Chains A and B, each alone.
Chain A
């Protein structure tokens, strides 16, 4: 089993699924000859040819709209948007059309498409390249929003997203593209959508995160373990539809919960999870649910992005507040 980076796993999933299913096509800006600005699509053009590996004009609305048109004809388009900030021109197409065609035609039409994009900051990229957009899409009915956190999950979840009969916004953690390697088997096995992954079990505290922040969250759990605190770590993975059952079951066990998101704080997906915990898990809680998040600021440019991004210390600071209120007995 080869050790792969997350971006290599994304690439492998597309290779694998394009070989398995002739209806899968990929499209986007610079994804053919250039192999994608992050090299996610390297090798696809040579292997599958320019008809199925489509270099599009520089027009993000068109990329999303073209994916919609392709998907309505039974193809399985996987569209790449180069950077998260350039997803905004796609929002109209994705929300007003992709997410609605099945419902508004009462099942006559559907849009089995995937829109892939890097999500989040931490790579000192130029302006508009580091935004976290998961909540923009997760709020919208009719969509699936998936945010993998490891190479193996990126591979298995991308296969699942491509095979899913409904539109999926697949947000890849930019900072983790080449951060670490992991064994990934090219077995063509999809991982389940609509389900959280319990990364590690623990009885003292539930840490919930997704995407790039899972990396810091795991490190925080390691630090806590050194202090004798057993954190259960949950990778939400599919943000919409949200698997609250797994999170509630964990919190019923631990009684403490800290949610970590990179996106701005107000109205973020941590808020949604927290609200659900308040509604359905309050009586299991020993302390308030705390959120670690980006700030309600514009995403800073490279020099100050570390001031914005949650890190291990900020996670631990919120965890300590929880244990101050509800000490481990």
Chain B
């Protein structure tokens, strides 16, 4: 199984780097996105710990994959995310505060207004069920002869589910322009990959679907962007679907409601921190002369301000009026439901605490 890595855990490069690695501005933009995503993640956890956010699924340690995906996609492409692909969503115009809004329990967190996020799917909580939507989306693209690609994201646990198999089994039949991106963070809550499947890799599941599959170091943002961009270009050029397994590690608990110490050893987590995607990328950028302490200081301040503004925007946004639960249910509220809406409206705003 093909495995691509350019940057090792220390940020030492090997192999022939892709063209985009010569564009310093672009490289810095990728770094900024990774750092901002991590800061927002930390803020989300602290908001949850202080009772100001609901259960939150952290993407800690997986920032490189989302960043790579965000930079590999074109605006006209369509992202179908799972629920830790925040960096890709941010790149495509989802405001930071939308993630906070969503995990606070507010549907408006998924009402993306800016293109291209506006035509993307919202994150998906049920496991793998969003993956086969890509078949219909890509079929529509083909029907309309559009040069667009669908990136369908899921995690390692999702590859155990029928929805995943039903999608990868038929994508090649129609040679659909889809890239299946499996973020293998090694843990599906308490279940390690070795207990999900007897397959040696998740990428090899592509073979059953008759499409190419490959692995990439998902903590190496250069390699991941390169591999995804290549797969996306192939799909766009009529070469059909493929599957990319990005190897990473879930550094946080599954969610803030989880305690991973119950099922995994702390030394494993410590060892994974040594492979942190941000640390290695920063070391490489510095070695290339693209980054320095002054730039780091400036970014830290900018990102902190941006995250703080997002947190303030979220905290300052009151909940919708209660009757909003009816207002997007159907294109037009059916007559039979109008009395229910009126009952909710007449009871007035909800009190504090709920």
Residues of chain A with a CB closer than 8 A to B138's CB: 69
Q: In the complex, what distance in Å separates the CA atom of A101 from the CA atom of B122?
A: 9
Residues of chain A with a CB closer than 8 A to B330's CB: 102, 142, 165-166
Residues of chain B with a CB closer than 8 A to A71's CB: 136
Is A97 interfacial (CB 8 A cutoff)? yes
Residues of chain A with a CB closer than 8 A to B122's CB: 101, 104-105, 109
B80-101 vs A, CB cutoff 8 Å, 1 = contact: the mask equals 0000000000000000000000
B134 touches A69 (CB 8 A): yes
Q: How large is the interface on B (under 10, 10 to 19, 20 to 34, 35 or more residues)?
A: 35 or more
A71-109 vs B, CB cutoff 8 Å, 1 = contact: the mask equals 111110100000000000100110011000111111111
A65 touches B135 (CB 8 A): yes
B129 touches A96 (CB 8 A): yes
Residues of chain B with a CB closer than 8 A to A154's CB: none
Report A187 CB to chain B, min CB distance, Å: 25
B335 touches A194 (CB 8 A): yes
Q: In the complex, what distance in Å separates the CA atom of A25 from the CA atom of B163?
A: 22
B111 touches A107 (CB 8 A): yes
Is B198 interfacial (CB 8 A cutoff)? no
A66 touches B139 (CB 8 A): yes
User: Of B108, B329, B335, which one neighbours A142 at CB under 8 angstroms?
Assistant: B329
B331 touches A194 (CB 8 A): no
B336 touches A77 (CB 8 A): no
Residues of chain A with a CB closer than 8 A to B132's CB: 61-62, 65-66, 69, 93
Q: How large is the interface on A (under 10, 10 to 19, 20 to 34, 35 or more residues)?
A: 35 or more
Look across to chain B and name the residue whose beta carbon is closest to the beta carbon of A97. Answer: B129
B129 touches A65 (CB 8 A): yes
Residues of chain B with a CB closer than 8 A to A142's CB: 329-330
A57 touches B173 (CB 8 A): yes
Residues of chain B with a CB closer than 8 A to A67's CB: 136
B319-348 vs A, CB cutoff 8 Å, 1 = contact: the mask equals 000000000111100111100000000000
B117-150 vs A, CB cutoff 8 Å, 1 = contact: the mask equals 0100110001001101111111111010000000
A102 touches B329 (CB 8 A): yes
Is A56 interfacial (CB 8 A cutoff)? yes
B110 touches A61 (CB 8 A): no
Most buried by B among A61, A101, A244: A61
B331 touches A106 (CB 8 A): no
Residues from 239 to 277 in A contacting B, C-beta threshold 8 Å: 241-245
Known: A57-B170, A96-B129, A141-B329. A105 touches B135 (CB 8 A): no
Q: In the complex, what distance in Å separates the CA atom of A57 from the CA atom of B171?
A: 10
Most buried by A among B108, B166, B169, B337: B166
Residues from 45 to 62 in A contacting B, C-beta threshold 8 Å: 51-52, 54, 56-57, 59, 61-62
Residues of chain B with a CB closer than 8 A to A141's CB: 329
Is A206 interfacial (CB 8 A cutoff)? no
Report A140 CB to chain B, min CB distance, Å: 11
B139 touches A105 (CB 8 A): no
Residues of chain A with a CB closer than 8 A to B140's CB: 69-70, 73-75
Residues of chain A with a CB closer than 8 A to B118's CB: 108
Residues of chain B with a CB closer than 8 A to A244's CB: 336
Is A184 interfacial (CB 8 A cutoff)? no
Q: In the complex, what distance in Å separates the CA atom of A241 from the CA atom of B330?
A: 11
Is B237 interfacial (CB 8 A cutoff)? no
Report B322 CB to chain A, min CB distance, Å: 14
Residues from 156 to 182 in B contacting A, C-beta threshold 8 Å: 162-163, 166-167, 169-170, 173
A106 touches B169 (CB 8 A): no
Q: In the complex, what distance in Å separates the CA atom of A103 from the CA atom of B320?
A: 13
Q: In the complex, what distance in Å separates the CA atom of A108 from the CA atom of B116?
A: 13
Q: In the complex, what distance in Å separates the CA atom of A70 from the CA atom of B135?
A: 8
Q: In the complex, what distance in Å separates the CA atom of A224 from the CA atom of B94?
A: 64
Is A110 interfacial (CB 8 A cutoff)? yes
Residues of chain B with a CB closer than 8 A to A97's CB: 126, 129-130, 133
A105 touches B129 (CB 8 A): no
Residues of chain B with a CB closer than 8 A to A245's CB: 335
CB-CB nearest 3 A-B residue pairs: A69-B136, A65-B132, A73-B140
A-B contact pairs, 16 of them (CB 8 A): A51-B143, A52-B143, A61-B132, A61-B162, A62-B135, A69-B139, A70-B137, A72-B121, A74-B140, A93-B132, A97-B126, A97-B129, A97-B130, A106-B107, A108-B111, A243-B336
- Seen from chain B, the residues whose Cβ lies within 8 Å of a Cβ on chain A are 107-108, 110-112, 118, 121-122, 126, 129-130, 132-141, 143, 162-163, 166-167, 169-170, 173, 328-331, 334-337
